[in-house]
Structure 1
Amino acid sequence: MYIIQNEQLEIVVAAKGAELQKIYNKETGLDYLWSGDPAFWGKHSPVLFPIVGTLKDGSYLYNNQTYHLSRHGFARDLEFTVIHQSEAAISFSLQQTAATLEQYPFYFELRIHYRVKENRLHIQYEVLNQDEKTLWFSIGAHPAFKVPLVKGTSFEDYVLCFNEFENTGRYPLTDDGLLAEDPQIFLQNTDELPLKKSLFYEDALVFKTLQSSSIKLESPKTENGLTVDFKGFPYMGIWSARDADFVCIEPWLGITDSVTTSGKLEEKEGILSLAPGETFTADWAIMTW
């Protein structure tokens, strides 16, 4: 485990998946990340790469060849290398291996940078195309936050607050984890989503057209809460395991396959492309109080 910190925050990150393990605010005395209880969901904050979500039939087509990738890709299950560390920042790197090339035929480097400043954790994803051909990829965040955050409150005491009023539907997921074609009416002229565990009995809430660039988790029963800033991320997933005490706020650059997908990697909804030698970056942040 690796630790970065300042006067307000202590952050713990594992080399496996370069995954956050702890976001501890020294002033509030709270750890805002989910415990990772395997009885519900054994992860804390996996990085989703090189796909987000599920592939139709678990496969995709590239250059007339079929490849197989499990849900959310392989980065979350692989060991990253630390390439930089200071008291308040750390950077991890992952590159292709013989095993990844069998699933994903591209030469790449994925760097994940964590940095603390005051009460904010800044996260940057950096993707480098080290191949001689176009790199096709998606990337996303999957942080799980404790709900309730403080003793004496319950899951249902908390609300997700959007920084813009929303009029948008959610896209249902099939039993196979694929997106239905048509959205269901969901958020109607509101900037709040009150939490209740039954919201997630039919899997994640998936949004394509949010106007907001930040979501706040808060409760009228406590002064403590957090904000996830995700400007530039076009897709959002909100999820919890059935009856678990956490909620995931997931900024995505990419999205799970729809039921009508062609299966071709270049035609996948939300897929990003990167020319040989080029670098892509995306930034998001978590603020705690």
Structure 2
Amino acid sequence: MKQDGTLFTLENDELLVTVARRGAELTRIYDKKADREVLWCAEPSVWNRHAPVLFPFVGKCYEGAYVHDGKEYGMTPHGFARDMDFEPLLCDMDECWFRLKDTPETYEKYPFHFEV
């Protein structure tokens, strides 16, 4: 397993997989036997991401906000997790585990405690 603090690469005889800390996003799945990339290439003219974690919402909130207990909270499309650095918990040749927990910053957008 290779890592540089932002990207984590796992590899075996069949696959090479890279995961970014930002958004816990799969950024590469390469099939060695077929000699081809399997994951979307993040073509900027179409969509510049690969496979980020979408939390706490998938899609858009109506008019970019939602209401909870009478208070309005702004929310970007697909939530905020895809734009945050996840904490790497375990990364070795077989697996990578990441965690994102609520912070004062996330609580301003999403007034709930969470762990993803």
Match of 2:95 in 1: 89
Q: Which runs of 4+ in 1 moved over 2 A?
A: none
Match of 2:78 in 1: 72
CA shift digits 1:171-211 (9 cap, x unpaired): xxxxxxxxxxxxxxxxxxxxxxxxxxxxxxxxxxxxxxxxx
Give the residue type in structure 2 aligned to 1:66. E
Describe the SS at the equivalent of 1:109. Answer: coil
Match of 2:44 in 1: 38
Q: In 2, distance between residues paired with 1:53 and 1:86?
A: 32
What is the aligned-residue identity percentage? 39
Give the residue type in structure 2 aligned to 1:78. M
Residue among 8, 18, 23 paired with 2:14? 8
Q: TM-score, normalised by structure 1?
A: 0.37
RMSD over aligned CA atoms reads 1.0
1:61 Cα deviation after fit: 1.2
Q: Gaps (5+ residues) in structure 2?
A: 1-6
CA shift digits 1:30-49 (9 cap, x unpaired): 11112212222211112110
Q: How does 1:93-242 map to 2 (within 5 A)?
A: 93-110=99-116
CA shift digits 1:115-172 (9 cap, x unpaired): xxxxxxxxxxxxxxxxxxxxxxxxxxxxxxxxxxxxxxxxxxxxxxxxxxxxxxxxxx
CA contact (8 A) 2:8 2:91 kept: no
Match of 1:57 in 2: 63
1:65 Cα deviation after fit: 1.1
Q: Gaps (5+ residues) in structure 1?
A: 111-289
Match of 2:23 in 1: 17
Match of 2:4 in 1: none
Describe the SS at the equivalent of 2:100. Answer: strand
Give the residue type in structure 1 aligned to 2:23. G
Give the residue type in structure 2 aligned to 1:91. W
1:21 Cα deviation after fit: 0.7
1:79 Cα deviation after fit: 0.5
Q: How does 1:240-279 map to 2 (within 5 A)?
A: none
1:25 Cα deviation after fit: 0.8
Give the residue type in structure 2 aligned to 1:75. A
- Higher strand residue share: 1
CA shift digits 1:240-273 (9 cap, x unpaired): xxxxxxxxxxxxxxxxxxxxxxxxxxxxxxxxxx
**Count of aligned pairs:** 110
Q: TM-score, normalised by structure 2?
A: 0.89
Match of 1:28 in 2: 34
1:2 Cα deviation after fit: 0.3
1:51 Cα deviation after fit: 0.6
Of structures 1 and 2, the larger Rg is shown by: 1
Q: In 2, distance between residues paired with 1:85 and 1:19?
A: 14
